């Protein structure tokens, strides 16, 4: 997997706490960004569905019946 270097700012006290607790800040940041992306994708999918909701399609009834033959 290709990676990219990123810089961000962090509150000094939070950074100090992370250091005291041996928290890997880079790994925590990756996990946080990954979770934020998953959440944003879910929200985007939901918004798209609300804009254009799915409707029943008669094709699937025929396709399911064909599969049972």
- Position 55 scores a pLDDT of 83
- Position 25 scores a pLDDT of 97
Which residues contact residue 6 at a Cβ distance below 8 angstroms, ignoring those fewer than 6 apart?
29
- The rounded mean pLDDT for the chain is 90
pLDDT beyond 90 at 64: no
pLDDT beyond 90 at 56: no
pLDDT beyond 80 at 48: yes
Per-residue model confidence as pLDDT tens digits over 13-42: 999 999 999 999 999 999 999 999 999 999
Using an 8 Å Cβ cutoff, are 10 and 25 in contact?
A: yes
Provide the strand spans (E) within 1-69.
Answer: none
């Amino acid at each position: 997997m290709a990676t990219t270097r990123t810089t961000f700012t962090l509150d000094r006290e939070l950074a100090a706490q992370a250091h005291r607790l041996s928290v890997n800040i880079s790994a925590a940041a990756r996990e946080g960004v990954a979770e934020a992306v998953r959440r944003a994708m879910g929200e985007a999918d939901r918004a798209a569905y609300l804009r254009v909701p799915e409707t029943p399609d008669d094709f699937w009834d025929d396709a399911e019946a064909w599969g049972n033959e």
